[in-house]
């Protein structure tokens, strides 16, 4: 897992402007100093390593503040001071893959990154988010907080802002901010879990559905 980075600023959702990378998605990660003392950095890495081992052995349900403290041989208070609460700890576990995803859609090669038409980028964005969610679904579900915190998390705000920016480029006469929130609901981990685990839909079907939805909203002819 990555070390902490500076606090994230609220994304600017204006067309044509790059969105800031939401580096550090958990409570503890968001409050870290840019240059942690060496011992603090080692302690954070040690705690995240212990948490990752618990996920491998017991799933996300096995990651509690007490279990991580015991696995890392530290006091429970140390875990709370570093991550704030269990949700902050789980978000920190997801931080590495979140930063990789953001780097890809904000500055990576097209069609996910800049350089492709906005509709192509929207198609690629949803597919990338769906694939990451399928790979980390249990952990993402466990990291979902209460609604106020869930929808205001830095990673979700950056992704929603990115979708709104692409929508403004593709369909500037729409209510792009509201439409972006609606599109983001398709990528919600709880819905992905319901569709794949309870409805038996394949990830490939969800990806095709996302592409079809984007094309219908944008009023474009789907690619052959």
154-208 confidence digits (pLDDT tens): 899 999 999 999 999 999 999 999 999 999 999 999 999 999 999 999 999 999 9
101-141 confidence digits (pLDDT tens): 999 999 999 999 999 999 999 999 999 999 999 999 999 99
Structural domain including 115 reads 27-218
Q: How many CB atoms lie within 10 A of CB 191?
A: 13
Longest Cα–Cα distance in the chain: 58
In a domain? residue 20? no
More confident residue, 40 or 19: 40
Helix (H, G, I), strand (E, B) or coil at 114: strand
Per-residue DSSP letter, 69: H
In a domain? residue 1? no
Global confidence as pTM: 0.76
In a domain? residue 14? no
Per-residue DSSP letter, 196: I
In a domain? residue 54? yes
Contacts of 106 (CB under 8 A, 6+ apart): 18, 19, 21, 113, 114, 162
Helix (H, G, I), strand (E, B) or coil at 116: strand
In a domain? residue 169? yes
| Residue 21 and residue 155 in contact, taking contact as beta carbons nearer than 8 Å | no
More confident residue, 36 or 12: 36
Q: Which helix (H) or strand (E) holds 29?
A: helix 27-30
In a domain? residue 7? no
Of 13, 15, 72, which Cα lies nearest the Cα of 44?
Answer: 72
In a domain? residue 135? yes
Number of domains in the chain: 1
In a domain? residue 74? yes
Q: What is the CATH number of the domain that holds 163?
A: 1.10.357.10
Structure tokens at 215: 């094309």
């Amino acid at each position: 897992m990555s070390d902490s980075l500076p606090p994230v600023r609220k994304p600017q959702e204006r067309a044509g402007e790059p969105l800031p990378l939401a580096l550090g998605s958990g409570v503890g990660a968001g409050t870290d100093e840019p240059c942690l003392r060496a011992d603090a950095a080692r302690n954070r890495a040690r705690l995240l390593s212990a948490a990752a081992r618990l996920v491998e052995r017991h799933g996300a349900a096995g990651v509690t503040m007490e279990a991580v403290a015991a696995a890392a041989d530290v006091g429970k208070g140390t875990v709370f001071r570093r991550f704030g609460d269990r949700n902050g700890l789980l978000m920190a576990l997801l931080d590495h893959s979140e930063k990789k995803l953001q780097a890809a859609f904000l500055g990576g090669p097209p069609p996910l990154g800049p350089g492709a038409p906005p509709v192509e980028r929207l198609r690629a964005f949803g597919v990338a988010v769906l694939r990451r969610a399928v790979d980390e679904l249990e952990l993402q579900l466990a990291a979902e907080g209460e609604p106020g915190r869930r929808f205001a998390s830095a990673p979700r705000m950056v992704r929603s802002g990115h979708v709104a920016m692409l929508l403004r480029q593709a369909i500037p006469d729409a209510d792009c901010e509201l439409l972006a929130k609606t599109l983001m609901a398709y990528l919600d981990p709880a819905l992905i879990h319901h569709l794949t685990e309870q409805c038996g839909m394949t990830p490939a079907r969800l990806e095709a559905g996302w592409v079809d939805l984007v094309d219908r909203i944008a009023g474009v002819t789907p690619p052959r």
